[in-house]
């Protein structure tokens, strides 16, 4: 799970494997596989860095290094 912050300041965690796409228009919107849209304060680059760190932590990159 990665942490994200909604525009109202509420922090929560989402499963990065459920993110279908990320849009910046100008707010950053995470489009989830469920069809839900989550608008967050983080930049797309921060979200991607958190996903990479999460994947490293769970060992998803073992075969990719």
Residue 51 backbone dihedrals phi, psi, to 5 degrees = -65, -45
- CB atoms under 10 Å from CB of 47, counted, come to 19
User: pLDDT tens across 14-63, in order?
Assistant: 999 999 999 999 999 999 999 999 999 999 999 999 999 999 998 876 66
pLDDT at 5 over 70: yes
Question: What residues have CB less than 8 Å from 62, skipping those under 6 apart?
Answer: none
Average pLDDT over residues 2-24: 97
**Would you list the domain boundaries of the chain?**
2-7+18-57
User: Tokens representing 39?
Assistant: 């608008």
CA–CA dist 31, 12 (Å, integer): 16
pLDDT for residue 11: 97
């Amino acid at each position: 799970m990665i942490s994200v912050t909604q525009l109202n300041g509420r922090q929560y965690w989402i499963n990065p494997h459920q993110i279908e796409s990320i849009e910046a228009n100008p707010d950053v919107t995470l489009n989830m596989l469920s069809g839900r849209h989550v608008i967050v304060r983080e930049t797309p680059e921060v979200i991607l860095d958190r996903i990479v760190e999460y994947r490293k932590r769970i060992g998803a990159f073992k075969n990719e290094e």
